[in-house]
A and B are shown apart, each in its own frame.
Chain A
Amino acid sequence: MSDFDLTPLRETLTAYAPQGRSGLLPALHAAQKLYGYIPEPVAVEIGLSLDVPLADVSGVIDFYRLFYREPVGKTIVRVCTDPACALASAEGVLGAFNELAGAGTGEASGDSANRHKNQLTVERFPCLGLCAHAPALLVGEQAVGDAAPKQAAQILNQERPMAADHVGGDARTLTAYCGRGHFTSLEEYQAAGGYRALGKALSRSPEQVIDEVKASGLVGRGGAAFPTGAKWLGCAGAPDEPRYVICNSDESEPGTFKDRVLMEGDPQRVIEGLVIAAYAVGSRRGIIYIRGEYTNAFYIMGQAVLEARQTGFLGENILGSGFDFDLELRLGAGAYICGEETAMFESIEGKRGFPRIKPPFPTTHGLFGKPTVINNVETLCNVPYIIQNGASAYRELGTDRSPGTKLFCLSGDVVRPGVYEVPFGVTMRHVLFDLAGGVPGDRSLGFVLVGGAAGAFATVEHLDLPLTFEDLNAAGLPLGSGVLMVFDSTRDVRDVLLRLGRFFTDESCGKCYPCQLGTQRQYEILGRVAAGTPLPGDADRLTEVGWTMSDASICGLGQTAATAVISAMKLWPKKFNT
C-alpha cells in the first residue's frame, strides 16, 4: 500500500484521462499541486490513467525543470542569475537565500541542491522574464523584483507587490494598454475598438484575410522573422485536417519579457489575433502555450479566455458568422527548448520537449502531425491592427522592408528598463538614450547584447544603426526577440558569456550531439576564460565548438548557442587568449 492518498488524484485525473498522453503535462502540474512533488505511486497512477508507459512518465518529469520526483521544500525560491539580474547582484541574493535555507553559498552548493532545509528549496534559475526588475526571483509562484540580499528573510515572510512594468515608445499600437499594472477587461478592450478587426475578418473570406496579412509584410516576432502570411497560406493550403493554431507564449529567451507584458496588459488582443489566424487557416482549435514560470500571465489569459467565451468571441458560431473556434491554455514546465515550435508540439503531446527533424514543416505536419500555424504573442498582437486599419496603413509604420512596430526589451545598465514599442527604423541610440534614459550615473556605455542569449554584441559604433531587420542583418546583429541588454564600460563581457554559456548548457535538450556536448564544452572553456586562466588553444576550441553547434545542430537552440561567443571573439579577441 502506498503512503499517499490517491483519492484526490484519481478525481483530478478524470479530467485529463480523455486527453490521453496529451494530458500528461497538465496532469503532472495538477498532481504536483496536490502532493508538492510527484512521488512514484502518483506517477504510476498518472501513467495508468493516461495510458502512458511508466518509463516515459518519469522521462517527462525529468525533462521539465518545474517537475520534481523528490520531495521539495514547502516554499521554492527561484533566483535568476542570468546577465541582467547578475548586474544587480543576483549572486548575492542567491547566496542570502541559500543561507536562509541552511546551505553554503558557493557555486557548487548553490545550485538546487538544498532541498528540505527549513522547508525551503532555493534554486539558481534561468531568466524569469523579469529583467526590468532585476534582481528578480520567484517565491513560490509570486514574482519578486528589485530584491536586495539583506531583504531575503523579509521577502519570504511578507508579500511584496510587483512594480508595474515600464512601457514606453513612440508608436504604441500594440502596447497602448500595457504597463498600467492591471489588465484590460473585455469591456475596456471593446470600448477601445477591440474585436472590430475580428468582425471585419469574419465578413471577408479567409483568403482575403491572408492576403491582407501578406500585404502587410508582417514577419514573426519570436526571433526567426518568418513571413506570417506565407505561414498561414501554407497551413490553409495543406490538405490534411484538423488544423491547429498555436500562440507561442513560451517566452524564455534571456532578456525577453515583451510577450509577458502584452499578455499581462492586454490579453484580449492576443486572443483576437489568434481567432483571426484560426479563421484564416480554417482551424477550430487553438492552444496558447505559456511558459511555466509565467503563472500570472497564465491566470490573466485564463480570465480573458473565459470572458471572451462568455461574450461569444470564442465558441460556436462566433459573431453569427458560422465560424466555430475555441482554445485551450497550456502551461509549460520549465524548458526553454519548448519555445522551439516542434519541441512545443512534442510538449503539448505529452512528451519530452525534443525538437523534431524538419522538414516536414509545421504548416503541413505540426501538432499531432496535422497542419499547424504557430505564431509568437507579439506577432499575433499585430494582426488585429492590420485587419482593422489595412495593410497600407500598417506599412506607414516602419520601413519598407521592416514594416510595423517592434517591441524592444531594455534591461541591464539603463536608467529606465522596460518595454519600448517603436516603429522599425529608429536608431539604437534613440531607444537606449532618448527613451530608456541611457546608462545611469556617470558611467559610459560598454556594449549591448542584441537579440538575446542567441544574439550578438553591439558597441558604441553601432548606436546610429537603424533598428530594422535589414540594417541589423547587414551589421551581423540578429534582432532576435527584440532584446537590448545594456552593459556599462566597467562590465566584463566574459562574465556575461559565462552566464549565457550556463544557460545553454542547462537548457540543451540533449537530443543532438553538437548541442548536447557542445554547450557543455563551451561552458567549461568559458569558465576558464572568465577566470582569466584560459588554456593555450581555448580560443580555437571555442571557435570550433561554436561553428560545429551552429552548422550541425538540429534546432535553433544549438544553432545559436555560440552566436554571442563568436561575436565577442570577433570584437575582443584578446580577452580569449592566455
Chain B
Amino acid sequence: MPEDISLSIDGTKITVPPGTTIHKAAESAGIPVPTICYHDHCTANGLCRTCVVEVEGARVLAASCVAQVSEGMVVYTNTERVERSRRTILEMLASAVDLSESPEILSMMEETGASHERFPGAERRQPSVLDDNPMYIRDYAKCVLCWRCVQVCAEDAQYTYALNFTGRGFETQIGTFFDRHLPETTCVFCGQCLGVCPTGALKPKREWLLEQGSTMEEVLQATHVKRKRRRKE
C-alpha cells in the first residue's frame, strides 16, 4: 500500500492518503474551503476557482478541488492573495448573474466581505426564462455555469446528452442542439440536472408557476401530461 502523505494546511500538520485533493484534506482537518462548482457526485473541473489556495513555491494559486496533495506541501487557505481572488470572483459573479436564489453563494459573499455593487454598469447575463415543457423551466439569468447539469446529463450520470453549451466566453450559456425545445431533444426528464443545480436556474415547473402566483388549478392545467396507457391486449 502506498504511504500516506504529510502536509501542512494553515499551519496544521495532517496526514492523508495519496490522491487526496487539497480540498478534501483541508476538510478532514476541519478547515472548510468554499466552492461553487464542486459537487461530490460530479467530475471536478476546477471552474469556479473560489476554492483556490496558495501552495508554497507555486507560481499561481491552486484549485483545491482538483489539486492533489504531495509530500511536504505547505498550503494556506486564507492568504491575502487567496482572499482577493475569492472575493473578486464572487463580486464579478454577482455583477453578472441573479444570485437571489443561491443562498450558499450569498453567504459566501458575506463571509468574504464581497460587495454586490463592486462593478457598476456591468453587463449582466439576462436571457429570458425558457418554458418549453411541462416538467421544468430553465432560467439562465440565474445560471453560474457550474457545468453540473451538462455533466449529469452526460457521463456523470444519465448518458442522455441533451445539454451542452452555446456561445463562448462571457456569452456562454447552457443550451440544447440548435436551441431546440427540450421535448425535441434527447432529454428523458430524469430530473438529475435539477437535483444538482445550485442556483435555482433549473426549477420544477409547478414550483415556478406557484412562485409566479398561479392558482393550483392553473398549475395542474399547465403541467398535466397525457400519458399513453399501454393496455394488455
Residues from chain B with Cβ under 8 Å of A535 in the complex: 120-121
Binds A, one of B126-134, B163-171, B225-233: B163-171
Given contacts A517-B92, A541-B118, contact A58 B178 (CB under 8 A): yes
For B36, B122, B177, which residue has the most chain A Cβ atoms within 10 angstroms? Answer: B177
Q: Do A506 and B169 have beta carbons less than 8 Å apart?
A: yes
A357 to B92, CA, bound (A): 22
Residues from chain B with Cβ under 8 Å of A524 in the complex: 119, 121-123
Residues from chain A with Cβ under 8 Å of B154 in the complex: 53
Binds B, one of A256-264, A305-313, A317-325, A542-550: A542-550
A176 to B3, CA, bound (A): 56
Number of A residues whose C-beta is below 8 Å from B? 45
Q: Do A55 and B164 have beta carbons less than 8 Å apart?
A: yes
Select one of B119, B161, B178 contacting A40, CB under 8 A. B178
**Mask of B36-56 contacts with A, CB within 8 angstroms, 1/0:** 100000000111111010000
Q: Do B169 and A508 have beta carbons less than 8 Å apart?
A: yes
Select one of A62, A541, A545, A551 contacting B165, CB under 8 A. A62
A241 to B28, CA, bound (A): 37
Residues from chain B with Cβ under 8 Å of A551 in the complex: 52, 60-61, 81, 84-85
Given contacts A40-B178, A514-B89, contact A58 B164 (CB under 8 A): yes
Q: Does B201 contact A (CB under 8 A)?
A: no
Q: Do A521 and B49 have beta carbons less than 8 Å apart?
A: no
Select one of A505, A520, A528, A552 contacting B85, CB under 8 A. A552
Q: Do B89 and A517 have beta carbons less than 8 Å apart?
A: yes
Q: Does B202 contact A (CB under 8 A)?
A: no
Q: Does B185 contact A (CB under 8 A)?
A: yes
Q: How far is the CB of A516 from chain B (nearest CB, A)?
A: 6
Residues from chain A with Cβ under 8 Å of B60 in the complex: 550-553, 559
Residues from chain A with Cβ under 8 Å of B169 in the complex: 505-510, 516, 519-520
Q: Does B93 contact A (CB under 8 A)?
A: yes
- Which of chain A's residues has its CB closest to B66's CB? A357
Residues from chain B with Cβ under 8 Å of A463 in the complex: none
Q: How far is the CB of B18 from chain A (nearest CB, A)?
A: 14
Q: Do A518 and B168 have beta carbons less than 8 Å apart?
A: no
A356 to B167, CA, bound (A): 19
Q: How far is the CB of B163 from chain A (nearest CB, A)?
A: 6
Residues of A329-369 at the interface with B, using a CB-CB cut-off of 8 Å, are: 335, 352, 357
By secondary structure, the B interface counts as loop
Q: Do B170 and A552 have beta carbons less than 8 Å apart?
A: no
Q: How far is the CB of B34 from chain A (nearest CB, A)?
A: 13
Q: Does A207 contact B (CB under 8 A)?
A: no
A8 to B84, CA, bound (A): 55
By secondary structure, the A interface counts as helix
A550 to B49, CA, bound (A): 12
Q: Does A530 contact B (CB under 8 A)?
A: no
Residues from chain A with Cβ under 8 Å of B186 in the complex: 53-55
Q: Do A513 and B81 have beta carbons less than 8 Å apart?
A: no
Residues from chain B with Cβ under 8 Å of A116 in the complex: none
A520 to B171, CA, bound (A): 10
- Which of chain A's residues has its CB closest to B179's CB? A58
Select one of A53, A335, A514, A519 contacting B170, CB under 8 A. A519
Residues of B122-167 at the interface with A, using a CB-CB cut-off of 8 Å, are: 122-123, 145, 154, 161-167
Q: Do A357 and B46 have beta carbons less than 8 Å apart?
A: yes
Given contacts A62-B165, A548-B85, A553-B49, contact A513 B92 (CB under 8 A): yes
Q: Does B88 contact A (CB under 8 A)?
A: yes
Q: Do B165 and A54 have beta carbons less than 8 Å apart?
A: no
Q: How far is the CB of B74 from chain A (nearest CB, A)?
A: 17
A553 to B49, CA, bound (A): 7
Q: How far is the CB of B172 from chain A (nearest CB, A)?
A: 4
Q: Does B95 contact A (CB under 8 A)?
A: yes
Q: Do A517 and B96 have beta carbons less than 8 Å apart?
A: yes
- Which of chain A's residues has its CB closest to B170's CB? A520
Q: Do B46 and A516 have beta carbons less than 8 Å apart?
A: no
Given contacts A551-B85, A552-B61, contact A514 B49 (CB under 8 A): yes
Residues from chain B with Cβ under 8 Å of A548 in the complex: 84-85, 88-89, 92
- Which of chain A's residues has its CB closest to B94's CB? A517
Chain A residues in contact with chain B, CB under 8 A?
40, 43, 53-59, 62-63, 69, 335, 352, 357, 505-514, 516-521, 524, 528, 535, 541, 544-545, 547-548, 550-554, 559
Chain B residues in contact with chain A, CB under 8 A?
36, 45-50, 52, 60-61, 63, 66, 81, 84-85, 88-89, 92-93, 95-96, 118-123, 145, 154, 161-172, 175-178, 185-186
Top 10 A-B residue pairs of the complex, sorted by shortest distance between their CB atoms: A53-B161, A59-B164, A510-B172, A55-B164, A517-B92, A508-B169, A520-B170, A54-B177, A548-B88, A552-B85
Known: A507-B169, A552-B52, A553-B60. 5 other contacts (CB 8 A): A54-B177, A55-B162, A62-B166, A509-B168, A552-B89
12 contacts between A and B (CB under 8 A): A58-B166, A58-B177, A58-B178, A63-B168, A514-B49, A516-B145, A521-B119, A524-B121, A541-B119, A548-B85, A551-B84, A552-B49
